[in-house]
Amino acid sequence: MARATFALLTSLVGVGLVFLLIDLSYLGVLIVLMMVMEMMVMAVFMIMYMMNPAGLMPMKMVHNSRGAPLIAAGVFLLLVAGVFLAPWPRRRGGPPADPTHALGLSIMGPKMLVMMVVGVAILATMISTTVLATHRGRYDGDRPRPRPEEGR
């Protein structure tokens, strides 16, 4: 499980590096930081709740151990051939001045401001429900607590 988690982490760090290579530095760093923390937490919980955390009972959790590497290598070579043999279109125009802003506009379009306001509203809702759900409430520490009368 830990190996699978770290393999997934490696691929997601690769995605973050691709974002860095296409000059989306904010999103690339954000992806790398988020995925590293997420995968570390996931690895800790998987190892903590695993049936065999110390590896004392040998288990083989790989199916088709002979065929899987051959299939994976074949698919990889097919994809590499597709990269070099595909008729890629020529680039028209240059990169935008702010690629992160351009990406946001292409994803959200004119609804960007609405989504930002909705995000702040959702955050305020989460904070207020947490405050209201606590037993003591927000201002409970300011008022003196009644003492139980002794002798009753």
Mean pLDDT of 96-107: 84
Q: Is residue 6 part of a domain?
A: yes
Domain count, the chain: 2
Under 8 Å CB-to-CB from 8, ≥6 apart: which residues? 39
Would you say residue 83 lies in a domain?
no
- 42 found inside a domain: yes
Q: Is the residue at 73 inside a domain?
A: no
pLDDT 10s digits, 79-95: 999 999 999 999 888 88
Q: What token pair was written down for 27?
A: 């999103």
Residue 79 belongs to a domain = no
Any domain includes 117: yes
Is residue 78 a part of any domain in this protein?
A: no
Residue 142 has pLDDT above 90, yes or no: no
Q: CA-CA distance, 11 to 83, in Å (whole number)?
A: 19
Q: Identify the pLDDT of residue 18.
A: 92
Q: Is the pLDDT of residue 152 over 60?
A: no
User: Is the predicted pLDDT of residue 137 greater than 60, yes or no?
Assistant: no
The domain in which residue 113 lies consists of: 104-135
